């Protein structure tokens, strides 16, 4: 009996020792080095991301088989911490790569651990959050490491539209490894300490003879402003993880659920008289669409997605009457709110995310058209603009639009109009719903008269004024029933909340098909 107790005690001590070894991972020196770089350790990140004490770890003792090339090192945990825990009481799955273990590189066991939590996330219907900090495919494992990436990519695609997938880039992310985050729904990047690229600066130098730093090639700023790869950036790990928690608060756990209701104690019938004066009298004058957005949303809380990319369109999450909504708004203060290739792609992907996860869509429209010119035509504005058209049209979630000012031509149709079967369409009295702007229209239909006139400018202005009287208002569209009501700007919030309530039980049946063919 005593011998049994001793044996049992030894087993407990062995377990204790193995756990400690896994926690220290690549060693205290490397953990300190991580801190010196301004980064948290993989384990600290997990604990900050999740509710206190909620983390349940899996595969802490799992090791790899050891690589070749004489490097047979095996570490408990194999360089990634995996498991589940809660965010505001709701279950999520997480993996966090540990740079202190062989540079967080990904081999067979490391990948199997990630795949296990991805599979469980889909099985139980909970989001999966990846904290990436890795040198990429573990070179010593050769083709096994590539196969290991493939398993993750496959799961990323299978889980797309089933559970929300979020990636945080908190260190290196290079080579083919970038494609797992890029398939996920949202990418966060930490400024100055993370980068993403398919080929790094040294390869760039060899192939193109260009000198470029990692930060210039694929840092957070570049991906937030230029490439549109990053949806959010944060100055450090702590703020990044806090923002992930915030994003999760807007999302349902899976595609069968609705987002959680959060009552911010903001009266649904709150009016904002200042909105009656938001749109300037001069149609060529700009204003900031954010004023409208922050005015109508519960508690003036808005989480903007890709706020530095294609700023002529605003996308993001807010709440109305406690319910999460996805908002897509033209921004007249940037490029007059015109739709170009980048804005179309940005909004198209956002719309598809919302539709996949039962988040109602609201568009705030002030769009003068698609951006003209050879750059845009040659850059594929036809197929990129079609993405947004396709995305709004196929969306079956409740869809509401508010035409604030300009709603011209094809861009008006694309922005969630009644004509592509949105559910409820409001217009402000300042709305102008027409085939094109007054100048372009007058020049086309009165070209001969204007050319023949002694003073073409006077005739053009007369014809523009005539056109404006006829079309620069919402009343013709209201008479046709193309919009459901012309509303007072001040009551926009209340009208939207009531429309959302009535659409709560909306159901749409589509003919059976494998999938549509969105113009990629």
Question: How far is residue 519 from each of residues 344, 387, 429, measured CA to CA in Å?
Answer: 12, 6, 35
Cβ 195 to ligand HXC shortest distance, Å: 9
Q: Is the CB of 200 or the CB of 260 nearer to ligand HXC?
A: 200
For residue 259, what is the DSSP state?
P
Query: Rule CB under 6 A: is residue 217 a binding residue for ligand HXC?
Result: no
The span from the first CA to the last CA of the chain, in angstroms, equals 70
| Residue 137 among the catalytic residues | no
Token code pair at residue 309: 């990319």
Query: Rule CB under 6 A: is residue 135 a binding residue for ligand HXC?
Result: yes
How many residues sit in the footprint of ligand HXC (CB under 6 A)? 16
Q: Closest Cα partner for 430 from 458, 404, 450?
A: 404
Residues in the chain: 520
d(CA 231, CA 214): 19
Query: Rule CB under 6 A: is residue 168 a binding residue for ligand HXC?
Result: no
Give the distance, in angstroms, between the CA of residue 411 and the centroid of all CA atoms in the same chain.
22
Cβ atoms of 159 and 128 closer than 8 Å: yes
Query: Rule CB under 6 A: is residue 137 a binding residue for ligand HXC?
Result: yes
Q: Is the CB of 157 or the CB of 261 nearer to ligand HXC?
A: 157
Query: Rule CB under 6 A: is residue 174 a binding residue for ligand HXC?
Result: yes
Which residue in the set 177, 220, 403, 483 belongs to the binding site for ligand HXC (CB under 6 A)?
177
d(CA 201, CA 210): 8
Token code pair at residue 368: 């003068």
Task: Show contacts with ligand HXC in window 365-404 (CB under 6 A).
Answer: none
Cβ atoms of 87 and 55 closer than 8 Å: no
| Residue 369 among the catalytic residues | no
Q: Is the CB of 140 or the CB of 323 nearer to ligand HXC?
A: 140
Task: Indicate the helix (H) or strand (E) that contains 201.
Answer: helix 201-208
Query: Rule CB under 6 A: is residue 474 a binding residue for ligand HXC?
Result: no
Cβ atoms of 118 and 103 closer than 8 Å: no
Q: Is the CB of 9 or the CB of 154 nearer to ligand HXC?
A: 154
Cβ 251 to ligand HXC shortest distance, Å: 28
Q: Is the CB of 177 or the CB of 427 nearer to ligand HXC?
A: 177
Cβ atoms of 158 and 183 closer than 8 Å: no
Point out which span in 49-57, 89-97, 129-137, 454-462 binds ligand HXC (CB under 6 A): 129-137
From 411, 431, 441, 499, active-site residue: 411
Question: How far is residue 185 from each of residues 92, 130, 143, 407, 511, measured CA to CA in Å?
Answer: 15, 11, 28, 30, 26
| Residue 411 among the catalytic residues | yes
Tell me the CB-side half-sphere exposure of residue 233, using CA atoms within 13 A: 22
Q: Is the CB of 76 or the CB of 103 nearer to ligand HXC?
A: 103
From 175, 200, 322, 409, active-site residue: 175
Which residue in the set 76, 83, 136, 337 belongs to the binding site for ligand HXC (CB under 6 A)?
136
Task: Show contacts with ligand HXC in window 147-166 (CB under 6 A).
Answer: 149
Query: Rule CB under 6 A: is residue 303 a binding residue for ligand HXC?
Result: no
Query: Rule CB under 6 A: is residue 79 a binding residue for ligand HXC?
Result: no
| Residue 176 among the catalytic residues | yes
Query: Rule CB under 6 A: is residue 139 a binding residue for ligand HXC?
Result: yes
d(CA 218, CA 426): 42
Question: Where along the sequence are the contacts to ligand HXC (CB under 6 A)?
Answer: 102-103, 105, 135-140, 146, 149, 172, 174-177
Active site (catalytic) residues: 175-176, 410-411
């Amino acid at each position: 009996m005593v011998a049994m107790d001793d044996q049992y005690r030894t087993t407990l001590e062995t377990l204790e020792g193995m756990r400690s070894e896994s926690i220290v991972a690549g060693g205290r020196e490397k953990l300190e080095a991580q801190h010196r770089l301004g980064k948290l350790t993989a384990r600290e990140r997990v604990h900050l991301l999740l509710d206190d004490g909620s983390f349940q770890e899996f595969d802490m003792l799992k090791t790899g088989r050891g690589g070749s090339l004489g490097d047979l090192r095996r570490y408990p945990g194999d360089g990634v911490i995996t498991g589940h825990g809660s965010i505001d009481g709701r279950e999520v799955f997480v993996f966090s790569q540990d740079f202190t273990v062989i540079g967080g590189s990904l081999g067979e066991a490391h990948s199997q651990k990630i795949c296990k939590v991805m599979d469980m996330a889909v099985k139980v219907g909970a989001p999966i959050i990846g904290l990436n900090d890795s040198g990429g495919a573990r070179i010593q494992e050769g083709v096994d490491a590539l196969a290991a990436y493939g398993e993750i990519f496959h799961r990323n695609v299978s889980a797309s539209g089933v559970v929300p997938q979020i990636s945080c880039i908190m260190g290196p992310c290079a080579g083919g490894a970038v494609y797992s985050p890029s398939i996920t729904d949202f990418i966060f990047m930490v400024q100055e300490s993370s980068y993403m690229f398919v080929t790094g600066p040294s390869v760039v130098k060899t192939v193109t003879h260009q000198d470029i730093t990692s930060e210039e090639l694929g840092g957070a700023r570049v991906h937030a402003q230029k490439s549109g790869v990053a949806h959010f950036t944060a100055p450090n790990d702590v703020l990044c993880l806090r923002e992930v928690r915030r994003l999760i608060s807007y999302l349902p756990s899976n595609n069968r659920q609705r987002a959680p209701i959060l009552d911010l104690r903001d009266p649904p019938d709150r009016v904002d008289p200042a909105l009656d004066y938001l749109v300037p009298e001069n149609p060529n004058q700009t204003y900031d669409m954010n004023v409208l957005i922050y005015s109508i949303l519960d508690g003036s809380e808005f989480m903007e997605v890709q706020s530095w990319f294609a700023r002529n369109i605003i996308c993001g999450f807010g709440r109305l009457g406690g319910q999460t909504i996805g908002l897509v708004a033209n921004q007249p203060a940037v490029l007059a709110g015109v739709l170009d290739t980048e804005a179309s792609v940005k909004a198209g992907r956002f719309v598809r995310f919302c539709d996949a996860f039962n988040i109602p869509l609201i568009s705030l429209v002030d769009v003068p058209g698609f951006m003209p010119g050879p750059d845009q035509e040659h850059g594929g504005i036809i197929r990129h603009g079609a993405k947004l058209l396709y995305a709004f049209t196929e969306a079956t979630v409740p869809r509401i639009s508010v035409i604030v000012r300009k709603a011209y031509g094809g861009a008006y149709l694309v922005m969630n109009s009644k004509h592509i079967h949105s559910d409820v369409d409001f217009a402000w009295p300042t709305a102008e719903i027409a085939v094109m702007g007054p100048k372009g229209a007058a020049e086309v239909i009165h070209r001969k008269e204007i050319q023949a006139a002694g003073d073409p400018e006077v005739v053009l202005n007369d014809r523009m004024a005539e056109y404006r009287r006829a079309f620069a208002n919402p009343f013709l569209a209201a008479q046709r029933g193309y919009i459901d009501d012309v509303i007072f700007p001040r009551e926009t919030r209340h009208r939207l909340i009531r429309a959302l309530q009535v659409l709560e039980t909306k159901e749409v049946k589509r003919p059976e098909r494998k999938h549509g063919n969105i113009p990629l």
